[in-house]
Structure 1
Amino acid sequence: PPPEPTPSSRVRGDLMDALVLLGVQVTGLGLAEDVRDRTPDMSFRASPFLRLRMVGDAVLARDGAQESLADLLRVVEDCRGVVRTVTQHLEDFGVSVDLVYRLECIQRGLDRMEAIARVLGSPRGEPRWREALALLSDLLRLAHADRSVRALVRRNARLLARKIIERTGNTGEHDITSTQAGFHQMVHSAAGGGLLIAFATALRFFLMGLPLAPFFAGLFVAFNYAGGFVLMQLLGFTLATKQPSMTASTLAAAVGEDTGPDSGPRRMERLAELVPRVTRSQLAAILGNLGCVLPVAVAFALGFQALRGHTFLSQEQARDVVATLHPWKSATLLYAVLTGVLLWMSSVAAGWFENFVVYRRLPEALAHHPVLRALVGVKGARKVADALEHHAAGVGGSITLGVLLAVAPGVGSFFGIPLDVRHVTFSFGALALAGSALGSSAVMEPGFLAAVAGVLGVGIINFGVSFTLALGVALRARDVPVSQGLRFLGAVFLRFLRNPLPFLIPPRDEPAMGGTQAQVVPLAGPPGH
């Protein structure tokens, strides 16, 4: 009878079977239609995934000869190049959780095939045992992860984070200034936002004074908030509190890029260039928002009093506004934390909606829709498509933020929880209206000055909470450990302590990105722009 196979031959046969099986699975995933659609420059016959299947058969036919294994490793590297191309396409034109998951399956399969090929191709003795032990440890680790609830939650959280955050930093409404002219342009844009916020604050007091049922009162307040934010987006104005969530994903990208041995200095160099521009842009937006809310709200209150003969807010309403903004005699700082969470949630909605629009190619569908072309013409349909692509994130996030700010107090009262929102710009506008009603002497009283300090605390908490949440999700989406991200940001903070001026004022000799003329540099424009 034929001799019994030795343990090494049985293991070698199992490894060959696994190699062929992985080749079949990876080939099927790599030749899927949505993968091929994202590599339009590559023909089907030239796909390395097709060659992977044929090379796998050659490895099996030649019983793992060195030449066939070397061919396999070259094809595996070519397949990784396709995965990188598709991943870049997703980051530019919308993310799909399903496709990202299948790309990770392809990457895992290629890694496993490479590990098996190293075992089969290593010389006998210690080199082969070393490769075999590396493969075995990887198998044990992933087998444990497959049975771990924590690992399951972590993987799914990463997929969801990837879907909602990749597009968050790619909105056309949020800019990073690089020159003094861009800084001033941001101030002017934010001043327009402050103008609208001042009137939205006054309209909110008017709506809350109407004898409406709670549902309709909340509905009209939501329309007021959302309408103001949408109008701000369409007019090209800026709301400072929406920027931290958007810039956090850009900072995470700067931290997460490059994994080589000298990646640390490169990442620090990118952060050293990016963070000062981010902080200057944020400062410009804050100055524009608050600097315009105060005079517009006071002018509105004085004009109303001159026309109607009485103040816009009653004395009782004004004192109530001052009391609710007191930093330690009210829960205003806790409400500011809740508002920071709502600001972050609106940025999530903005990124998700833009990703949906871009990934589903809705602008392209609108541009070629026969009914729309018949109504407004070819150029008109193209303009509608471009408007949807440009304003998708801004409008989606604006509507979400307006609804959340209006709904949160009602939801709290429904469950018997005293919830409220404290948005720094609206709070400052309300305090300006209250000061106009109380008179110039009242604004120097300790209670009013404490309310001013409360507004300052609200602003810090709004920005801090929304930025921290957005940065955490962005780091998770880009597989950057939180400790690493905090370490880089800590280094940037030390640099700020040594030389804070570049973080606040753009240097005169700093060139604009992409040219010598003053301009505002977007984080990343929509595809095709």
Structure 2
Amino acid sequence: MLTDTSDLEQILQRITMLQELPEPESLKRLIDALRVADGNNESADAKIDELIEILRTNPEYGAGLAAFILRLINKYRQITLYTDTGIASDQSFSSSVSRLISHRFLPLLPEEDSVVELANYLFDKRSDWRWVESISEERWDELVQLIRPDEKDLSLVAQAKNSILNAIVVLSYRISGIGLHPELMNFYPELLNYSAAFVAQNQEAILFVNQYRQAHELDLMTDVMPENDIDPAPLMVMVEQCEDIVDTLRKRVYKTGISIRLTNMLARLEQSLQRMRTLVELVSDAEHKRDQAVVDLTVEVVQTAKTRYSFGSLIESNTRLLSRKVTENASRVGEHYISTDSTGYRKMYQKAAIGGLFIGFMATLKTLAYHLALAPIGRAFVNSMIYGLGFVFIHIARGTVATKQPAMTAAAIASTISESSGKKTQQLTKLSELIVDILRTQFVAILGNISVAMPVALLIAMAWSYFQPMPMIDGAQAAKLLHELDPIRSLALPHAAIAGVFLFVSGLIAGYYDNLAAYNKIGERIRRHWLLIRLMPKRWLDKLGGFVEANLGAIMGNFIFGCFLGSTATVGYMLGLPLDIRHIAFASANFVHGLYYLSPEHLTWQVITLSFIGVLLIGFVNLMVSFSLALMVALRSKEVKFMEWKRLYSMVVGHFFARPLDFFWPRKQTVKYAKINSFGEMIFEEASPAKETRFFSDSIVRRLGRKPKEKEEAEKADNQPEDIREAIEAYHNDELDNPPKSVDDAEDDEVAINPLPKPANPPKLPK
């Protein structure tokens, strides 16, 4: 440990000596000395503690390191660093893939003057961004406080601040461009009423940049701290108003639907607004967030440097957009799978019982279909129709199938663990309670399915024996049905996992088609179809349009889920792979058929017990696989980095041992969630009209123009003597918070992007 500390001291001494002539190799040596293995958080914090202790003991090292870093970075282009790094690209997925493929065969030329290239050299390990991110916030705060330049290096600070201010202006124009984009306006026509917010944030950004540059005398390449610093609050108010508009757009997604392009556009708008906040915090420490802004930007640069040419990163970002597109659009009349009280519990059992009634007949039809002499493709088609149409009829009859996890469940999970849902401990508590509610709801759904499917299957078998001399299946087929439920000597559990994947995918498909119906206005187009208008009365046509738009997602999700189940075994046969599915509801019906038709000499208590345990385990695997995948998509859709799995698992297990009945029976006091009601239905808040009409403050309105009353006063003032007119103008200037210029002059100003000195040729990075 003493040797490591000595090494760090030597490196810092060298950096301090070379601060006038910075070269990347010295900074890389410091980073190499601080690097620890990926995931070793304690060691990472210990290394930073050593560095902090050295800097605290030797303040000149901190000043020298700050000057070294500033001089080095000032040799590279910085504006694109602030405006592009970590913000979603406007490129399509296909063009991005072709670019990366061409890079594999003929590498792209490095941008030698880019800070990202410098970061790629300094942090040369693939997982360095994870190591940087693992350092605790307390260490970062203390470290940033110790790395401060001396007054003699204020010209370096001024140059860096000028770059940041110019980047704020560029970002502001981009935000206005996206916020006023025609496609976004078409998606949300009411946005035109609030377009002034995007215009006003641009005006506030330019005012803030000009006033800050003037107050700090940055044009003189120094950084003078004024007695009263420029307040970024007006700009932050407008940024917040723009974020509120984006939030309103997202709340409307469940009604209007959204495309991948619009999802990407909203993501870029959100990221640009967040970056605007970060840059303002970098130059203005009004709320004491500057240190955290430095850390966030550093992590973003390192992550971008290590993942910019990665196929995995590209696929992850695009699947995040797709999962966000799906999870944000939940079925309005579709199936709901979270109950929080006894009323929802009973309702779920009733719906599951209806599903069990259909499943008893569907399992019988599938058993009878084995007597048909069909080619593999024909068998797959028949089984798919039995499953698919059966599931559709279950939905139309307002029934449900156990263990399904629709996109709405993922959205409910995401709302519970999103960054805006409270502190981490509170999030974990809510998430663990939500998991308990989901598991209890799935339990009652399974109970409703099998408690009806098994008696129905038994009644059908008895009726068949009464009316038909030949049994529905022979003893060998019955033994095969029971063998397929054996959790030890068959592949029942892996096949149940495959069914769990299909259960999850069907939920995403339902969300996709719900979104498609809303975005393409399928219901309204059906109501206006020229042929349907001639064939159907208007009342029927209205009902048909409303039904299709409200249920298209659930119908398509159920039908395609059935096709998955019906064709998997055939696909496995054609590929020579042991593929098949096991679902608890059908397993329970097959369990009854197998016991009923099994020959008496083979019917033992061991067979009965093992098969029944297999049915229960199949249901458990169905539920765990589908739920885990739903949770994963929920996390990805909200970009939540959740690392508390062990703690969450302990909380759920602890709840089971403390109150096991909560997993099977509604608790007396229900838990309230922000985004779901007691029936498991998502709650989409709509802004009240009074709130919607007030998207920006009066002070911003005054900057955009005078109010009518003020115009009348101005017209009166024009007829007054010159001294009175000057007094009125002075009054208005005071009302406008005493800006350094009049509003008219500020609006007529050109965008003041400071002409920075051209960056020096950056040092060549070693190969």
Q: TM-score, normalised by structure 2?
A: 0.61
Which residue identity does 2:447 align to in structure 1?
Answer: L
Question: Contact 1:95 / 1:163 at 8 angstroms: preserved in 2?
Answer: yes
Of 233, 246, 268, the match for 1:105: 268
1:411 aligns with 2:571: yes
Once the two structures are superposed, the pairs formed by residues 132-151 of structure 1 within 5 Å of their partners are: 137=298, 140-141=301-302, 143-144=304-305, 147-149=308-310, 150-151=312-313
For residues 246 and 456 of structure 1, do their structure 2 counterparts lie closer, same or farther at Cα, with a shift above 3 Å needed? farther
1:145–1:151 contact (8 Å) kept in structure 2:
no
Question: Given the alignment of the two structures, is residue 307 of structure 1 paired with residue 477 of structure 2, yes or no?
Answer: no
Using the TM superposition, name which of 37-46 and 245-254 deviates more. 37-46
> Contact conserved, 1:39 with 1:85, CA < 8 A, in 2?
no
Is 1:20–1:60's contact at 8 Å kept on the other side of the alignment? yes
Deviations 1:351-380 (A, max 9, x none): 211122122222233344454344334332
Tell me the residue number matched to 1:459: 619
How far, CA to CA, are the matches of 2:279 and 2:263 in structure 1? Answer: 24
Please state how far the C-alpha of 1:461 moved relative to its aligned partner: 1.0
Aligned partners of 1:301 and 1:312 also within 8 Å: yes
Residue 294 of structure 1: SS of its match in structure 2?
Answer: helix
Equivalent residue number for residue 225 of structure 1: 387
The reply on whether 1:26 has 2:187 as its aligned counterpart is no
Structure 2 contact 368–472 (Cα < 8 Å) conserved = no
Given the alignment, which residue of 431, 434, 438 partners 2:591? Answer: 431
2:494 to 327, 330, 334: 334
Inter-CA distance 378–409: structure 2 relative to 1 (3 Å threshold): same
8 Å contact kept, 2:415–2:421: no
- What is aligned with 1:239? 401
Match of 1:184 among 343, 346, 356: 346
Which structure has the greater CA radius of gyration? 2
Partner AA of 1:458 in structure 2 = I
Further displaced range: 215-224 or 181-190: 181-190
Distance 1:319 1:131 in 2: 65
Structure 1: how far apart are the matches of 2:276 and 2:407? 40
After superposition, what is the alpha-carbon deviation per residue over 1:144-171, rounded to whole angstroms, capped at 9, x for unaligned? 2562514433322311221233335765
Cα distance change of structure 1 residues 259 and 291 upon mapping to structure 2, 3 Å threshold = closer
Q: Deviations over 1:258-317 (max 9, x none)?
A: 354x46336625753x44543332222111111111111111111111111232111121
Q: Distance in 2 between matches of 1:234 and 1:128?
A: 54
Quote the offset at 1:220 in angstroms: 1.1
Of 170, 190, 193, the residue aligned with 2:355 is 193
Farther-moved stretch of structure 1 (333-342 vs 128-137)? 128-137
Please give the alpha-carbon distance, in whole angstroms, between the structure 2 residues aligned to 1:176 and 1:147. 39
**Partner Cα distance (2:283, 2:649) in 1:** 45
RMSD in angstroms over aligned alpha carbons? 3.5
Distance 1:406 1:277 in 2: 31
Q: Using the alignment, how far apart are the partners of 2:209 and 2:624 within structure 1?
A: 58
Provide the C-alpha distance between the structure 2 equivalents of 1:376 and 1:303, rounded to a whole number of angstroms.
42
Q: Deviations over 1:175-218 (max 9, x none)?
A: 43444454333323212211211111111122121112221121
Match of 2:641 in 1: 481
In structure 2, give the amino acid aligned to 1:524: M
The residue that corresponds to 1:74 in the other structure is: 237
- Report the CA distance between 1:93 and its aligned residue: 3.9
TM-score w.r.t. structure 1 length? 0.85
Residues 237-386 of structure 1: matches in 2 within 5 Å? 237-243=399-405, 247-256=409-418, 258-260=420-422, 262=423, 264-265=425-426, 268-269=429-430, 272=433, 274-369=434-529, 371-386=531-546
What amino acid does structure 2 have at the position aligned with 1:253?
A: S
1:51 counterpart residue number = 200
Aligned to 1:154: 316
Q: Higher RCO, 1 or 2 (CA under 8 Å, sep at least 6)?
A: 1
1-structure distance, mates of 2:511, 2:678: 21
Partner of 2:681: 523
Name the one with the larger helix percent.
1
Counterparts of 2:596 and 2:558, CA distance in 1 = 29
Identity across aligned pairs (percent)?
26
Change (3 A) 1:487 1:397: farther
Alpha carbons of structure 1 residues 139 and 423: separation in structure 2 relative to 1, 3 Å: closer
| 1:491 equivalent in structure 2 | 651
SS at match of 1:155: helix
Give the letter for the 2:381 counterpart.
Answer: L
Alignment partner of 2:257 out of 88, 94, 99: 94
Q: Contact 2:212–2:230 at 8 Å: present in 1 too?
A: no
Cα distance change of structure 1 residues 509 and 21 upon mapping to structure 2, 3 Å threshold = closer
Whole-Å Cα distance in 1 between the matches of residues 452 and 268 of structure 2?
52
More displaced 10-residue stretch of structure 1: 381-390 or 36-45: 36-45
C-alpha displacement of 1:391: 1.6
- For this pair of structures, how many residues does the alignment match? 515
CA–CA distance in structure 2, aligned partners of residues 179 and 509 of structure 1 = 8
> Aligned partners of 2:436 and 2:421: how far apart in 1?
24
Q: Which amino acid aligns with 1:350?
A: A
Q: Deviations over 1:432-489 (max 9, x none)?
A: 1121112677543423432222222211111111111111111211223343466445
Change (3 A) 1:57 1:214: same
CA distance in 2, matches of 1:480, 1:193: 35
**Whole-angstrom CA distance in 1 between matches of 2:421 and 2:350:** 40
Distance 1:94 1:128, change over 3 A: closer
Q: Say if 1:337 and 1:462, in contact at 8 Å, map to a contact too.
A: yes
| Inter-CA distance 85–38: structure 2 relative to 1 (3 Å threshold) | farther
Q: Distance in 1 between matches of 2:619 and 2:597?
A: 23
Matching residue of 2:83: none
Gaps in structure 1 of 5+ consecutive residues: 1-5
Query: In the TM superposition, what is the alpha-carbon distance from 1:9 to its structure 2 partner?
Result: 5.6
Secondary structure of 2:400's match?
Answer: coil
Residue 3 of structure 1 aligns with which residue? none
Name the CA distance, whole Å, in 2 between partners of 1:121 and 1:80: 20
Any conservation in 2 of the 1:255–1:485 contact (CA below 8 Å)?
no
- Hey, what does 2:372 align to over in structure 1? 210
3-state SS, counterpart of residue 339 of structure 1:
helix
Segments of structure 2 that go 5 or more residues without pairing to the other structure are 1-154, 215-228, 687-767
Shift of 1:119: 4.6
How far apart, CA to CA, are the structure 1 residues paired with 2:262 and 2:350?
42
Letter in 2 for 1:140: V
| Structure 1 range deviating more: 283-292 or 230-239 | 283-292
How far the C-alpha of 1:416 sits from its partner, in A, is: 1.1
Q: How far does residue 342 in structure 1 lie from its aligned partner after superposition?
A: 1.7
Q: CA–CA distance in 2 between the matches of 1:356 and 1:135? A: 36
Q: Which amino acid aligns with 2:482?
A: V
Q: Structure 1 stretch 190-199 or stretch 365-374: which is displaced more?
A: 365-374
Q: 1:64 corresponds to which residue?
A: 213
Q: Which amino acid aligns with 1:254?
A: T
Deviation at 1:228, TM superposition (A): 0.6
Whether the 8 Å CA contact 2:284–2:290 is kept in 1: the answer is: no
Q: CA–CA distance in 1 between the matches of 2:668 and 2:278?
A: 54
